[in-house]
Structure 1
Amino acid sequence: MTASRPDAPTSLREQVYVELRERIIEAEYPAGTRLVEREIADELRVSRVPVREAMQRLESEGFLSVQPRRGAVVTDFGPEDAAHLFDVRENLEGLAARLAARHASPEELRELEELLARARRAAESGRLREAVAFNADFHRAVVELSGNPLLVDLMAPLDSRLRRLFRLTSAQSDGEPMCGAHEQLYEAVHDRDEAAAESLARAHVAATRTSALRTLENRWNQAG
């Protein structure tokens, strides 16, 4: 299991969407960047139709906004956006951890443990971006281990926003404390301790919230 993009696009429309979304998440298109449909189509060597459809989807997901006389512009991700996201995360990920402790199979637990090991190795060797990617995979895996398709569907639209948030705030964070929190959560899930798993998941989200909001607020103050 490796840290990777969470989906494997098949259709041309999906490929264009994923490419543009990843460029925004990775800050190749920073906030305020104007995206021109014709230029992107020429660069990707596709027609303008899949580009237009991808940009419409990104607008609906909050990555782009259409502004008068400027067209499609990459949105910023500020403290208020992060606060709203964390409000939802704390409740849904707490529930996911409780259900994962109830339903995860031994094989699934081994895969989760391997993710943790990879994240730990990346953090200890200073490969922070890789550690952040593995840690994002860990969050996604816990949700999938809940065994609740509705919960998985509810979390899916948040995944890209979470990855963008992690990318924006990881440069000033240390990957090792995050690994430690995930290892504690893994132990609770492994031990089938539902109450502890939910409590640890909520506490981890709350701690991450404090750090991320501080980083974003500093960033906004410097920009202002």
Structure 2
Amino acid sequence: MKAGVVSEPGSLRDFAYASLRQRIVEVSLKPGERLVERDLAGELNVSRIPLREALRMLAAEGLVLLVPGKGALVSPFTPADVRDLFDVREVLESLAARLAAGRASAASVARLEKRLEECRAATASADAPRIAAANAAFHAEIIELADNPLLTSLMSPLASRTEWLFRLTSSRDPAEQCSEHEELFALIAAGDGDGAAASAYAHIAAGRAPSAALASTWSEPVVDPEAVAKRRRRRT
């Protein structure tokens, strides 16, 4: 970013948030990596105030861990964290699929079909970041189509973490996942609540074991957040 391009405080915060979110989700910044404010502020050409606001926003989404008085790091994403995320997704996303099917309309089906088309195109492109983003958008659309504000508020903080998981597990077969999305879409479009809920649960549960196994390859066995956050070494 060139100096002076972004000047409003809110814009600076949002720019820093979007830039860091992308780096984390696309794994340019790895789970457990220390985030050095001085370095990041220089790289993004922002002051520390909007940078810290952005870090707080990312912490609320589970992407950053703030250690009071020590600093910040990319949140660890351990096999246990993966397990916890799947525990929640299996229950709430199957509920969302049931509700979306029960409230299916021509307009809602068209919206979901558009997301499915994005999944198809991303899968055909073999572009891992694009696949992760498209798959996350498909799942998020189902939650929106459930038209349950409480459910939306519960799932909203998990959206970035879910996309991050999809990117970290991009070695899984994207064609298989797209095929499962096709099945789930058909059931929602047909208004089959029970079938949609079962399909959503099976789709999510199928990713639990391989995702947990992959998590062991990208996470440290034991991460001490305070020790990581207080390191003086700057990133290169």
TM norm. shorter chain > 0.5: yes
The residue correspondences of 1:72-87 to structure 2 (distance < 5 A) are 72-87=72-87
Letter in 2 for 1:187: A
2:189 is equivalent to residue 194 of structure 1: no
CA deviation vs aligned residue, 1:88-125 (integer Å, no higher than 9, x gap): 00111011000100113212212211222232233234
Alignment correspondent of 1:112: 112
CA deviation vs aligned residue, 1:151-209 (integer Å, no higher than 9, x gap): 11110000111111111111x21111101111111111011011101111111110011
1:48 Cα deviation (Å)? Answer: 1.4
Higher RCO, 1 vs 2 (CA within 8 Å, ≥6 residues apart)? 2
Counterpart contact for 1:13–1:51, Cα < 8 Å: yes
Farther-moved stretch of structure 1 (129-138 vs 95-104)? 129-138
Letter in 1 for 2:94: G
The residue correspondences of 1:53-92 to structure 2 (distance < 5 A) are 53-66=53-66, 71-92=71-92
Per residue, is there more helix in 1 or in 2?
1
2:143 is equivalent to residue 143 of structure 1: yes
2:22 is equivalent to residue 22 of structure 1: yes
1:128/1:50 Cα in 2 relative to 1: closer, same or farther (>3 Å)?
closer
Structure-2 separation of matches of 1:128 and 1:40: 25
Counterpart contact for 2:89–2:204, Cα < 8 Å: yes
1:13/1:221 Cα in 2 relative to 1: closer, same or farther (>3 Å)?
closer
Structure-2 separation of matches of 1:109 and 1:141: 10
Letter in 1 for 2:180: A
Alignment correspondent of 1:45: 45
1:219 Cα deviation (Å)? Answer: 4.4
| 2:77 aligned counterpart, secondary structure | coil
Structure-2 separation of matches of 1:95 and 1:13: 34
Structure-2 separation of matches of 1:60 and 1:135: 22
Structure-1 separation of matches of 2:63 and 2:81: 12
Structure-2 separation of matches of 1:131 and 1:71: 32
Q: List, as ranges, runs of 4+ consecutive aligned residues in structure 1 with deviation greater than 6 Å.
A: none
Counterpart contact for 1:34–1:70, Cα < 8 Å: no
| 2:73 aligned counterpart, secondary structure | strand
- Using the aligned pairs only, state the percent identity: 44
Q: CA RMSD in A?
A: 2.4
1:217/1:135 Cα in 2 relative to 1: closer, same or farther (>3 Å)?
same
Alignment correspondent of 1:5: none
2:102 is equivalent to residue 102 of structure 1: yes
Farther-moved stretch of structure 1 (65-74 vs 191-200)? 65-74
Alignment correspondent of 1:6: none
Structure-1 separation of matches of 2:88 and 2:94: 10
Unaligned runs of 5+ in 1: 1-9
Structure-1 separation of matches of 2:36 and 2:217: 30
Alignment correspondent of 1:7: none
The residue correspondences of 1:119-198 to structure 2 (distance < 5 A) are 119-170=119-170, 172-198=171-197
1:59/1:130 Cα in 2 relative to 1: closer, same or farther (>3 Å)?
closer
Counterpart contact for 1:132–1:175, Cα < 8 Å: no
Letter in 2 for 1:92: L
Alignment correspondent of 2:232: none
